[in-house]
Amino acid sequence: MARVPYADENSDPEIRALAERIRAERGGRMLNLYRMLLNSPPVAAGWLSLLTAIRQMCELRSDYRELSILRVAVVNGAQYEYRAHVPFALKEGVTEAQVAALDDWRGSALFSDAQRAVLAYTDAMTREVHVPEVVFDALRPHFSPRQIVELTATIAAYNLVSRFLEALAVDPEAAHAQVRPLPR
């Protein structure tokens, strides 16, 4: 159960307008994440802009984006984030076997060199913050400077997402109940 009540999107005109924008940019849905964020309209608006840019406006291939998001969720134990993004990952070409192998990706032969570079970078950013040169250098053959910046922003943003969701115990959507739980 969420630690803070979800905002009433009809409580005032500012929140109502922002809720309409969220629905327009998120396929008509109002996820519990955004219901929670609506408690602070300025934070919700900034969050929406950042995550819309990352998910819909970047050159970084979507399978790399989703692999990094799922790995952030696994490392952080963020069930909501994991269950929400498994369907996106599968839609973007990540295989069921790769999703299942994310907990021990280093020991799996299912990932390409570029995917391994993404996962190592995700682990370093999420666990250590300071990325070793060898990990960063492994990205260079596969990604342009713009794509590296977009990958970095994706990993950073989804660490924000998982920490927000877990700290406030945001309830997962019923639609994600069928998605397998985090590996562990």
For residue 49, the tally of other CB atoms under 10 A from its CB is 12
Angle at 79 between CA 6 and CA 107, to 5 degrees: 160
**Are the beta carbons of 70 and 44 closer than 8 angstroms?**
no
Residue 178 confidence (pLDDT) above 70 = no
Cut 0.85: pTM above it: yes
**Are the beta carbons of 72 and 122 closer than 8 angstroms?**
yes
Tell me what pLDDT residue 182 has: 73
Angle at 183 between CA 168 and CA 44, to 5 degrees: 30
Residue ranges per domain, the chain? 13-56, 62-176
Q: pLDDT class for 176, splitting at 50, 70, 90?
A: low
Tell me what pLDDT residue 112 has: 98
Give the residue, 183 or 151, on which the prediction is more confident: 151
Would you report the helix, strand and coil content of the chain in percent, each value rounded to 5?
65, 0, 35
Is 62-176 assigned to CATH 1.20.1290.10? yes
